[in-house]
């Protein structure tokens, strides 16, 4: 039975007087609404069940195929070129997530721990569960990584994210609607929402891979309202879903828990007016919830400990005590009107590594969608499903406003709890889109059924078959018009940005030729250093099959406050990596860098030539950096496969005792310079005092 043909469901979010009409068009289990036109025979229960099963399977396959086509079109710039070497960008957060997808596959094939690695941030290592590491996706897609590499795995994940998210919403809404295209429209809004699309542009899979939330709503619907299945079985499924989401994105899991608590509380408050029904259903719901808690608790007790107290875990505010994650949030304007891309943000992304096209707003709903939702709520105000999801959605909006300095906001009630300072409240947008998608699906279905009934009530039909076809056609046109009004502005806003921009992953020659063949355990300091915004070195390491360990990395672990005794050296190396203008070298900086090299256990330093690399992968101060590393190691580099390489750094002698003036003279010349001139500069550092080397 559906939510509206069960007596308790009527009390929870039924239709009041119209519930009986809805019940007559629903199946005995509620999994599939029953077609009542002449195309379906209902005189034999077994035949009817088979027909409904065929319809449900066919509808699911059609929806899956349509969503897949849309997802491939969204990433057409990847799939029409080279999906093993083209993606959003081999830089920025995309580089970080490429590494996160590579490590579990590498760990499984080498008998290592997929939750922890010293291949990044050597020697401390990185705790993947303390980061947005997508361990679940990395493990499941390991065969793709083994066969085609981590870039292909990233592209598969980026393509599956909208597909699976939309499909999960389709399955949820199909439980509540008569006309399956209404469920398809709901999936389209949720899975291809601005929130998901913008998350995809930076490969934020912990946000874009969002199929679990709709599936959790299905479980809550079953254990709180329908109660047709075993509460233990429902609880186990719910606990498994919570576990899966933990390994996809703990932040979204927290948002889901808050939203679910709000929804359950609203239903409980409404149930106080129907206390007898509430008490009858309480035991079933309690058994299911306890089972879910036990299931998730048993499965997550070790992973949660590992994330909070395991090796290299992050404690306190992950971005430091001075971060302002909760300050920024959504705003009312961008819900209604499309926001223009920020020229400054776009320029920084192009220079430092990020999505290589203008970034649109992630929170645009448009006047059309809001008008449809409000009109539907008024027209079908007896449908308590609309009221429930409208209430949860409305509450999620002020939560997404964040802290808003100098103003009281709803998020201040939550931010005081442990670990909540690491939640970015603007990401409540996912909940807002979920609620809007459910409401839109129900409203589109209501439009279809309402128009169909209205036409049926018109007298004068002499040929029942023909009017039935015409009736459904007119109802479908009306419903699709409502969907177009809701989704049209969003589609128009994003039309200029689809398909999403993709870039070839450019790997320097040294990392394509020499890197994969290193002998022994090598610890590399790679320029540009990955802890200074330019993060492409993580992609190079991933593509090389983790053939070496690397100093530093991306994400919150790159904060200088977490660098320990190597902080001074890390700061200076970071400045050299992103600086675009002249920068001198001092003995104090040489000493700090040498201390950092020793503390990190560096065995090799590699500076690839910036020629033919994208701007977000280039080290501009090649000469200055070469002088710095030569002074710190006391040895000049060798020239190998288009890169400057210092070997056996861990066995290097003392740093060069040179004055700032001497180092400045040796480093004089263009920031890049020819191979010969940089060789003269580094030779100058280790030689007896001599005249400076410059390009001629």
Q: Tokens 């306190």 map to which residue?
A: 316
Q: Where are the domains of the chain?
A: 7-77+155-321+362-497, 78-154, 509-686
Confidence category of residue 4, pLDDT binned at 50, 70, 90: very low
Q: What is the mean pLDDT of residues 87-101?
A: 95
Residue 42 pLDDT greater than 50, yes or no: no
> pLDDT category, 464, cuts 50, 70, 90?
low
Cis omega before residue 123 (within 30°)? yes
Angle at 436 between CA 431 and CA 442, to 5 degrees: 130
Residue 147 has pLDDT above 80, yes or no: yes
Does pLDDT of 691 surpass 90? no
Q: Is 329 left (phi over 0), alpha (psi -120 to 50) or beta?
A: beta
Total residue length of the chain: 696
Angstrom distance (rounded) from CA 598 to CA 576: 19
| DSSP secondary structure code for residue 225 in this structure | I
Q: 8-12, 431-435, 479-483, 590-594: which has the minimum mean pLDDT?
A: 8-12
Region of poorest pLDDT, from 211-220, 453-462, 508-517, 563-572: 453-462
What is the pairing mode between strands 643-646 and 604-608?
antiparallel
CA 344, 508, 609, 99 torsion: positive or negative?
positive
Q: Report the alpha-carbon distance of residue 29 to residue 128 in Å, rounded.
A: 42
When mean pLDDT is compared across 190-199, 509-518, 589-598, 685-694, the lowest value belongs to 685-694
Q: What is the mean pLDDT of residues 282-307?
A: 96
**Average pLDDT over every residue of 24-47:** 40
Is the pLDDT at 52 greater than 50, yes or no?
A: yes
**Residues 100, 89, 330, CA angle at the centre, nearest 5°?**
80
With 80 as the cut, is the pLDDT of residue 695 above it? Answer: no
Instruction: Write the burial class of residue 642 (CB in 10 Å: 0-12 exposed, 13-18 middle, 19+ buried).
Output: middle
How many helices (H) and strands (E) are present in the chain, helices listed first?
28, 9
Instruction: Please answer whether residues 22 and 446 qualify as being in contact, where contact means their C-beta atoms are separated by less than 8 angstroms.
Output: no
CA dihedral 672, 675, 678, 684 (to 10 degrees): -170
| Confidence check: pLDDT of 253 > 50 | yes
Mean pLDDT, the chain, rounded, equals 89
Confidence band (pLDDT; 50, 70, 90) for 342?
A: confident
């Amino acid at each position: 039975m559906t939510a509206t043909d069960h007596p308790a469901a009527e009390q929870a979010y039924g239709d009041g007087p119209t519930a009986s009409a809805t019940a007559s068009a629903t199946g005995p289990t509620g999994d599939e609404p029953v077609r009542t036109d002449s195309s379906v025979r209902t005189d034999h229960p077994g035949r009817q069940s088979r027909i409904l099963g065929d319809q449900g399977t066919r509808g699911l396959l059609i929806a899956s195929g349509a969503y897949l086509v849309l997802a491939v079109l969204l990433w057409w710039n990847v799939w029409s070129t080279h999906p093993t070497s083209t993606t959003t960008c081999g830089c920025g957060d995309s580089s970080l997530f490429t590494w996160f997808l590579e490590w579990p596959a590498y760990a499984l094939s080498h008998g290592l721990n997929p939750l922890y690695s010293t291949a990044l941030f050597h020697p401390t290592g990185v705790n993947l569960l303390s980061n947005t590491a997508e361990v679940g996706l990395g493990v499941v897609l390991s065969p793709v990584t083994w066969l085609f590499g981590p870039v292909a795995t990233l592209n598969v994940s980026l393509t599956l994210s909208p597909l699976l998210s939309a499909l999960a919403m389709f399955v949820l809404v199909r439980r509540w609607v008569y006309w399956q295209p209404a469920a398809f429209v709901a999936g389209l809004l949720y899975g291809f929402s601005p929130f998901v699309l913008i998350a995809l542009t930076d490969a934020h899979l912990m946000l874009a891979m969002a199929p679990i939330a709709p599936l959790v709503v299905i479980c809550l619907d079953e254990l709180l309202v329908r109660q047709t299945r075993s509460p233990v079985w429902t609880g186990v499924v719910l606990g498994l879903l919570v576990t899966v989401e933990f390994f996809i994105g703990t932040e979204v899991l927290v948002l889901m828990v808050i939203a679910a608590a709000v929804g359950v509380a609203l239903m409980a408050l409404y149930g106080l007016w129907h206390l007898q029904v509430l008490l009858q259903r309480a035991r079933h719901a309690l058994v299911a919830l306890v089972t879910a808690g036990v299931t998730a608790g048993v499965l997550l007790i070790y992973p949660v400990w590992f994330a909070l107290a395991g090796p290299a875990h992050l404690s306190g505010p992950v971005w430091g005590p001075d971060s302002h994650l909760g300050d920024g949030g959504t705003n009312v304007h961008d819900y209604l009107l499309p926001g223009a891309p920020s020229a400054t943000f776009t320029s920084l992304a192009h220079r430092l590594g990020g999505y290589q096209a203008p970034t649109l707003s992630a929170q645009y709903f448009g006047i059309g969608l809001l008008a449809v939702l409000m009109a539907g709520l008024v027209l079908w105000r007896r449908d308590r499903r609309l009221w429930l999801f409208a209430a949860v959605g409305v509450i999620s909006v002020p939560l997404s406003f964040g802290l808003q300095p100098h103003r009281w906001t709803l998020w201040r009630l939550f931010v005081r709890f442990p670990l909540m300072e690491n939640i970015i409240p603007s990401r409540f947008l996912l909940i807002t889109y979920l609620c809007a998608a459910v409401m839109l699906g129900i409203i589109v279905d209501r439009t279809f059924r309402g128009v169909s009934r209205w036409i049926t009530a018109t007298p004068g039909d002499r040929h029942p078959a023909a009017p039935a076809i015409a009736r459904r056609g007119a109802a479908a046109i009306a419903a699709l018009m409502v969907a177009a009004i809701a989704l049209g502005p969003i589609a128009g806003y994003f039309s200029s940005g689809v398909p999403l921009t993709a870039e070839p992953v450019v790997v320097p020659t040294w990392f394509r030729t020499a890197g994969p063949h290193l002998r022994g355990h090598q610890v590399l300091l790679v320029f540009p250093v990955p802890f200074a915004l330019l993060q492409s070195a993580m992609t190079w390491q991933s593509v090389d099959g983790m053939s070496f360990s690397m100093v530093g990395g991306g994400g919150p672990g790159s904060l200088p406050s977490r660098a320990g005794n190597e902080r001074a050296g890390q700061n200076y190396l970071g400045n050299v990596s992103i600086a675009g203008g002249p920068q001198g070298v001092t003995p104090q900086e040489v000493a700090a860098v040498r201390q950092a090299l020793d503390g990190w256990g560096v065995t090799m330093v590699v500076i690839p030539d910036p020629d033919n690399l994208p701007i977000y992968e280039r080290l501009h101060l090649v000469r200055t950096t070469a002088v710095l590393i030569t002074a710190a190691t006391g040895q000049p580099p060798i020239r190998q496969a288009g890169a400057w390489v210092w070997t056996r750094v861990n066995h290097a002698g003392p740093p060069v005792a040179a004055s700032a003036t001497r180092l400045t003279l040796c480093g004089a010349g263009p920031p890049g310079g020819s191979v010969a001139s940089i060789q003269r500069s580094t030779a100058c550092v280790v030689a007896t005092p001599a005249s400076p080397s410059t390009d001629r």
